[in-house]
Amino acid sequence: MAHALNKLTARQVASLKEPGRYADGGGLYFRITNAGSRSWVFMVTQGGKRAEIGLGRTIDRPLAAARQLAQQMREAIADGIDPRTLLADAIPAQPGEPAPAALTFGEFADQYITSVEDGWKSPIHRQQWRSSLRDHAGALLAKPLADVSTDDVLEVLEPIWLTKAETAKRVRGRIEKILAAAMARKLRPRDAINPAAWRGHLQVLLPSQAR
């Protein structure tokens, strides 16, 4: 992971438009989502599994700062330290730049799907995850990940809970998994209830679908 560094230029980062991941080298990637979000990610393999760590938006963190943070993460890995612990003390934005925006539910959802979809055999399954969130959970996508509440989840589910029952169940389950992953990565409090949890939570707030 240490060779072939600094493949990208600032001009490329500014001009690239097509969704995808563009390697800078050493595990650092510039990513453009289908929704047009532009950010940095660091790819790491731990315990035989490949995971993606979000490093923030390009508007908040210039190429040089992203490279410096990626270098710190490579050094942490070499020392046996989880590189995610560096994010709390990540390099601040340059003087005069706005403070980094909070990670949104939509941005984290895209990171989560990307990190696990290699284990899904069906390409249709991958497409359904993204399309169901886009079509039925659009109200959540721009919300800060840490602020998603039970009321927000109900706002998404209630309009389709009885009219599109099977779709609603799948959307709820996918939202629950995304929020659970966020809790596991300490992006949401681990001891708080998952707003999309079913048993003992949404189960008592939504009407029965057994009709």
- Kindly report the CATH number assigned to the domain that includes residue 67: 3.30.160.390
State whether 147 and 194 are in the same domain: yes
Q: Which residue has the higher pLDDT, 168 or 99?
A: 168
Q: In this model, does residue 87 exceed pLDDT 50? A: yes
What confidence tier does 101 reach under pLDDT thresholds 50, 70, 90? low
What confidence tier does 211 reach under pLDDT thresholds 50, 70, 90? low
State whether 146 and 58 are in the same domain: no
Q: Give the end of a domain, one of 28, 56, 89.
A: 89
Would you say 106 and 140 are in contact if contact means Cβ atoms under 8 Å apart? Answer: yes
- Kindly report the CATH number assigned to the domain that includes residue 115: 1.10.150.130
Q: Is residue 31 part of a domain?
A: yes
Q: Is residue 96 part of a domain?
A: no
Total number of domains in the chain = 2
State whether 114 and 66 are in the same domain: no
State whether 135 and 53 are in the same domain: no
Express each pLDDT in 57-83 by its tens digit.
Answer: 888 888 988 898 889 888 888 888 877
Domain limits at 121?
Answer: 105-204
Would you say 58 and 50 are in contact if contact means Cβ atoms under 8 Å apart? Answer: no
Instruction: Using the CB atoms, write b or e for 29-61: b if 16+ within 10 Å.
Output: bbbbbeeebbbbbbbbeeeeeebbbbbbebebb
State whether 117 and 173 are in the same domain: yes
Q: Is residue 141 part of a domain?
A: yes
State whether 14 and 69 are in the same domain: yes
State whether 24 and 60 are in the same domain: yes
State whether 72 and 119 are in the same domain: no
Express each pLDDT in 25-49 by its tens digit.
Answer: 998 999 898 777 889 999 887 667 7
State whether 33 and 63 are in the same domain: yes
Q: Is residue 135 part of a domain?
A: yes
Distance, CA of 83 to CA of 101 (rounded, Å):
21
State whether 113 and 200 are in the same domain: yes
Q: Give the end of a domain, one of 61, 89, 117.
A: 89
- The pTM assigned to this predicted structure is 0.56
In 3-state terms, what secondary structure has residue 183?
Answer: helix
Express each pLDDT in 125-136 by its tens digit.
Answer: 878 998 999 999
